[in-house]
Amino acid sequence: MYKVASASEYLVITGVGITDVKLAKKAWILPGQSCTVFDVSPVNYTFEVQAMSAEKLPFVLPAVFTIGPRLEDELSLQRYAKLISPHDKLSHHVKELVQGVIEGETRVLAASMTMEEIFRGTKEFKQEVFEKVQLELNQFGLLIYNANVKQLVDVPGHEYFSYLGQKTQMEAANQAKVDVAEARMKGEIGAKLRDGQTLQNAAKIDAETKIISTQRQGEGKKEEIKVKTEVKVYENQREAEVAEANAELAKKKAGWTKQAQVAEVEAAKAVALREAELQREVERMNALTRTEKLKAEFLSKASVDYETKVQEANWELYKKQKAAEAILYEREKEASAKKAIAEAEFYARQQAADGEFYAKKKEAEGLIALGQAQGIYLRTLLDSLGGNYAALRDYLMINGGMFQDIAKINAEAVRGLQPKISIWTNGNGGRDDNGAAGISSSGAMKEVAGVYRMLPPLFKTVQEQTGMLPPPWMGALTDSSNS
């Protein structure tokens, strides 16, 4: 992309192939490069710099600076492009930068000069301020094109220039009054002198003319006396007029002297008033100084007391903290001991539970192994019996003594009941020849037959109690079986 800057602009290019920055009026912008346009026209900055002289008197220096980049120096232009151009020239950042440099240099320079030196050497003061500010602005690539510092202004409450102007004004006014009075006096005295001289010369000419006329005409003594008398009268009149003029002049001189003395008194009074004001200001400053001194003394004492109390409070707090820490440490130890005991008890219970669980597990494993063995045993018996489940059940019942247990349980049930048992036979085969009861030789088979007669009721009982029927080889039960 090809870019061209306007008359008051420059292109600053960075990126591939450029070490730092490149300034140009027109250039090709290659891929990987960045181009920014910045304006180099100067800008006016208006400030009111507050400074203080060597006598600690504050004042305000209004100034207008026209500042812009230094165009004739490429290094300065690069500094401006890198440091200032990213910001707007009228932005708060740039204005604070320029104002900070100007205020700093002005304050440093003003602090080394008295107010009288600043006021009387305003031109030199301004020139030195400009040189100092320009020296600081060089590092930003800026140049002061023009600077205009207005009249120094008083800070409210410190009216030095106002009082100085009033003093100068009063002195000029008094001097003007004196000059006017002297000019008026000289004018009136000169006018009176000229009038007197004119009258005197006229009288002299008139007298001479009359004398010559009298001499020429040859008039008598009378006319000469008359002329002399008139001349004398005229002279007396002129002397009276001169005396009157002198009196008037003396009167006016007295008036002028009075005015001059009044002016002097007024000037002296103004000076006395100013001295009184300055003395009052000095007294006020002394009072403030004494007040600050007393404040400092009391504040120092209060600070010492405060520090002492703070140290005491800190010591008490430290002791309480240490006591609390000791108590906390003991409680932590007790808690740790209790925790250790609880952990030990928990571990013991856990070990007991683990042992019990292990025993239960082993017991279950034994029961599983026993069940597996019994299953193998039953499977072997069932295979040996040809898969006859009824034969296996009868075998297990007989082998387990189930019938004996049933008989024992039934016997226990009727024990103590003393039942009456009747034995029925088919004759008296149970008696001998003497009539005694007994068992004959043929009675054995009868007993066996009695046992077999007892089986049906027994099987009936087993069937009622267990729900199991006798095997087929032992017979079958019917509902009409006799006991």
CATH number assigned to the domain comprising residue 98: 3.30.479.30
Residue 235 burial (CB count, 10 A):
14
Specify the pLDDT at position 220: 65
Element (H, E) at 173: helix 160-217
Domain that holds residue 87: 40-158
Specify the pLDDT at position 438: 44
2 and 86 part of one domain? no
Pick the last residue of a domain from 115, 143, 158.
Answer: 158
427 vs 152, which has greater pLDDT? 152
Specify the pLDDT at position 120: 67
Amino acid at 328: L
428 domain residue, yes or no:
no
35 domain residue, yes or no:
yes
294 domain residue, yes or no:
no
Contact between residue 27 and residue 19 where contact means Cβ atoms under 8 Å apart? no
Average pLDDT (327-333) is 86
12 and 94 part of one domain? no
Give the whole-angstrom CA distance, residue 370 versus residue 379. 14
- 9 forms beta bridges with 39
Work out the percent of the chain whose per-residue pLDDT is above 90: 0
Average pLDDT (289-312) is 76
Is residue 130 over pLDDT 50? yes
Least confident among 6-15, 70-79, 81-90, 260-269: 81-90
337 — pLDDT class (breaks 50, 70, 90): confident
Q: What is the pTM of this model?
A: 0.33
> Using one digit for the tens of pLDDT, what is the confidence trace for 376-406?
888 888 888 888 878 878 788 888 787 788 7
Average pLDDT (30-59) is 80
34 and 48 part of one domain? no
Is residue 460 over pLDDT 70? yes
Is residue 481 over pLDDT 60? no
Tell me 311's DSSP state: H
Among the listed residues 106, 11, 109, 96, the one whose alpha carbon sits nearest the alpha carbon of residue 63 = 106
53 and 146 part of one domain? yes
| Three-state DSSP class for residue 28 | strand
SS3 content of the chain, % helix, strand, coil (to 5): 70, 10, 20
- 2 forms beta bridges with 28
12 and 93 part of one domain? no
482 — pLDDT class (breaks 50, 70, 90): very low
How many structural domains does the chain have? 2
240 domain residue, yes or no:
no
Pick the last residue of a domain from 158, 175, 204.
Answer: 158
13 and 91 part of one domain? no
Among the listed residues 210, 209, 204, 208, the one whose alpha carbon sits nearest the alpha carbon of residue 238 = 204
Is residue 433 over pLDDT 50? no
Is residue 128 over pLDDT 50? yes
Is residue 100 over pLDDT 60? yes
The mean predicted confidence, pLDDT, of the chain is 76
106 and 23 part of one domain? no
Place of tokens 């220039």: 161
Give the whole-angstrom CA distance, residue 79 versus residue 21. 10
32 vs 224, which has greater pLDDT? 32
Among the listed residues 152, 109, 148, 104, the one whose alpha carbon sits nearest the alpha carbon of residue 128 = 109
Specify the pLDDT at position 152: 64
Contact between residue 73 and residue 97 where contact means Cβ atoms under 8 Å apart? no
63 and 53 part of one domain? yes
144 vs 417, which has greater pLDDT? 144
CA 114, 115, 117 angle in degrees (round to 5)? 65
Average pLDDT (113-130) is 72
160 vs 25, which has greater pLDDT? 25
Pick the last residue of a domain from 96, 128, 158.
Answer: 158
8 and 49 part of one domain? no
**Which pair of tokens denotes residue 340?**
């250790």
Specify the pLDDT at position 424: 53
**Which pair of tokens denotes residue 337?**
């001991």
Contact between residue 126 and residue 150 where contact means Cβ atoms under 8 Å apart? no
| Three-state DSSP class for residue 114 | coil
- 15 forms beta bridges with 33
Give the whole-angstrom CA distance, residue 261 versus residue 449. 186
Amino acid at 311: Q
30 and 54 part of one domain? no
431 vs 86, which has greater pLDDT? 86
Torsional sign, CA 113, 118, 123, 127:
positive
Quote the longest CA-to-CA distance of the chain: 262
277 vs 468, which has greater pLDDT? 277
**Which pair of tokens denotes residue 316?**
């008490």
- Phi/psi of residue 134, each to 5°? -65, -40
426 domain residue, yes or no:
no
Helices (H), 385-478: 389-399, 402-414, 443-466
Least confident among 74-78, 216-220, 408-412: 216-220
Most confident of 92-101, 319-328, 394-403: 319-328
Specify the pLDDT at position 160: 56
133 and 118 part of one domain? yes
